[in-house]
Structure 1
């Protein structure tokens, strides 16, 4: 087996393990906080949101830093640090004595969170540009599969073994994933141009802001996550409105939410391969319109099965966006700064993770849960309009933009 294929298989397996393990703890996080003291429902709900969100806040600022380090020293060391860092964080979560300790541990976890985005960047840089979409779409199947099974397994383990042992088992599994990377991955060093320019961080940021396509795609990346996360905290309430048997709400909400993941799993590779053939911009624009088409009708369903079908179709559309945007970054960024560019793109993803639940809560508070689907659909249309506007402008070479910004700052 050649090095590239072995690396890909290991990364796909470890993505499954990490995604599945980190989502194991999500179903019982609020219950775990409740077990740390005699708290009111309002206190538990408020701190559950803070404890969940602080990880993404820290990760938002750290992603470009890890990317810049990866450009210099390689992705494998970053994957190992992130893997063992997440494992240690989850182990410590099980040993927390107070909510404030748990909050600080989750903050530290945000510093080392980024295993899956880093693995995407790693595979992207090791993959020829002409098949990047198909390869990244296939890789996403690993993390999506883990995300689908993780919450179910985590809930069953918490019921069977208790919170403490679930945290320990989860930490061990992620430690095994990090060990697989350490022992099995052989990184093929990127060959940079001998005359490659060393760009300052300020120059790279200014270059992104002035490169119409890159900044637009990063904003779209954030909107994708807003669309995914805006309804997540409210989905069980919406399912409750559509079902008669209240005893099955939690289970039915889980199945409904997982439907989008199934659609994602089935079509991510196909969209990536199509992007390789006809262009990532065309596929991205089509998927944005497709997402709008499938998310807006979710506001008007009268039966739960209708919502499940639409969530499945929405997942089909959304599933191609992350590998498509990542492949596009791979195409545009010079090889010597790809890690940092991917890091900024990851920051926009985490920003969407933070904004999504808050955005959904505000919209539903003013005009109802069903309106969240409509407003989110409008965001996808706006993203499509921005993309079309960008593509109508003259094409920009990112290296030329970087050099121009560097000259201005001198």
Structure 2
């Protein structure tokens, strides 16, 4: 089997592995607060507080561990790290079904965060086997696997929890994660990518950080990973409440699901297209356009009068957001030597997890003090600031390159 055929097979297998992982993680979200409430020892306010803490604590350990997994992947192979993280995640989810109080659940979610880097590592696994000129298209294709999982996961999780209970659902979700682990173990093969002339086979963390700091666009792209996630996740905790304000309490779960899924559908429709455009026009140029587009689309979200208007806005938002992750990864593939890409992507994922943690807290506080509309305006402003920052770095870098060529 040639390297090209092997790369296609790896992409095919990793698409399904990402689908199962993403679906599994999103299956838990709809009933996590209900599971906490089932312990029967907490007030309604305590359940709400613990739901936020237990949801967010996974991102804290994921933030700490992501660069570590990336560095190990660069040194020992990314397939090994994918196997370790998927089995670790599967065991963690299986044990969630045996918890008897909120502290046990908290500790297991904290432990689970250690292994929550599967999708980011899979991006590094595929990225390093992909020629840089088609990285956007390939990584966009890979992302459709996780997006599809996110679309189906919450629906399946709610149905399973209602029909077989929390414990049975945790068991089936863990089986789904173990399926991903087996797909990676038996279906993929990692091959050595040729190191280009002038590159080293291994880099120290000091050398990796020095490389990031020397490339202003790469540094900005990594920082924006956190800021963009803060913007997107600030809306997540208040979306169901916003839907309830627009539509009333009737069938709130159904209409909230429509609002959530609309963004995922838009994401799914456009993510591969943005990747192709990035390959042709340039990843940073498309990134700048998408960040500005997302910032603009958030503004009418604060002005809608019905849940259907909100769903349309969320659909357009998903279309804009869809290309941001694969284009960021594709740019890192282009800007970082092969032997350090895992660690650089580890920092990228780490900063994303930090944004995932900060965003819901910020959104909840803003909604509590200033109302739902304020969250949309704040998110829009943050994204536009991100776009201006990346545009400025891109223009300055272009001028620096022009001066360097003229000397």
Question: How far is 1:210 from its partner?
Answer: 4.2
Given the alignment, which residue of 121, 124, 128 partners 1:121? 124
Matches within 5 A, 1:222-233: 222-233=226-237
Q: Aligned partners of 1:345 and 1:260: how far apart in 2?
A: 23
Given the alignment, which residue of 5, 9, 14 partners 1:11? 14
Q: Aligned partners of 2:222 and 2:368: how far apart in 1?
A: 28
Q: Aligned partners of 1:54 and 1:387: how far apart in 2?
A: 30
Residue 211 of structure 1 is matched in structure 2 by 215
Question: How far is 1:213 from its partner?
Answer: 0.5
Given the alignment, which residue of 167, 170, 176 partners 2:170? 167
Given the alignment, which residue of 360, 365, 381 partners 1:378? 381
Q: Is 2:59–2:357's contact at 8 Å kept on the other side of the alignment?
A: yes
The 3-state SS of whatever aligns with 2:365 is helix
Deviations 1:268-316 (A, max 9, x none): 0000000000001110111011112211110011122111100000000
Q: Aligned partners of 1:241 and 1:36: how far apart in 2?
A: 29
Residue 220 of structure 1 is matched in structure 2 by 224
Q: Which moved more, 1:266-275 or 1:183-192?
A: 183-192
Question: How far is 1:208 from its partner?
Answer: 2.0
Q: Is 1:274–1:283's contact at 8 Å kept on the other side of the alignment?
A: yes
Q: Aligned partners of 1:35 and 1:239: how far apart in 2?
A: 25
Q: Is 2:14–2:184's contact at 8 Å kept on the other side of the alignment?
A: yes
The 3-state SS of whatever aligns with 1:300 is coil
Q: Is 1:224–1:318's contact at 8 Å kept on the other side of the alignment?
A: no
Residue 243 of structure 2 is matched in structure 1 by 239
TM, length-normalised to structure 2: 0.94
Deviations 1:198-229 (A, max 9, x none): 43313322432342111111122222212221
TM, length-normalised to structure 1: 0.94
Q: Aligned partners of 1:208 and 1:359: how far apart in 2?
A: 28
Q: Aligned partners of 2:209 and 2:45: how far apart in 1?
A: 40
CA RMSD across the alignment: 1.5
Q: Aligned partners of 2:69 and 2:108: how far apart in 1?
A: 19
Residue 253 of structure 1 is matched in structure 2 by 256
Matches within 5 A, 1:234-383: 234-244=238-248, 246-383=249-386
Task: Work out the number of aligned pairs and report it.
Answer: 396
Q: Aligned partners of 1:219 and 1:274: how far apart in 2?
A: 23
Q: Aligned partners of 1:22 and 1:199: how far apart in 2?
A: 33
Deviations 1:143-199 (A, max 9, x none): 000001101100100000000010001101110110110011000122225764443
Aligned: 1:46 with 2:49 = yes
The 3-state SS of whatever aligns with 2:302 is helix
Aligned: 1:73 with 2:57 = no
Q: Aligned partners of 1:336 and 1:387: how far apart in 2?
A: 26
Q: Aligned partners of 1:188 and 1:350: how far apart in 2?
A: 29
The 3-state SS of whatever aligns with 1:97 is coil
Residue 404 of structure 2 is matched in structure 1 by none
Q: Which moved more, 1:309-318 or 1:285-294?
A: 285-294
Aligned: 1:26 with 2:23 = no
**Aligned pair in 2 of structure 1 residues 103, 137: CA closer, same or farther (>3 Å)?**
same
Q: Aligned partners of 1:86 and 1:3: how far apart in 2?
A: 27
Residue 405 of structure 2 is matched in structure 1 by none
Residue 186 of structure 1 is matched in structure 2 by 189
The 3-state SS of whatever aligns with 1:127 is coil
Q: Is 2:288–2:390's contact at 8 Å kept on the other side of the alignment?
A: yes
Q: Aligned partners of 2:130 and 2:289: how far apart in 1?
A: 24
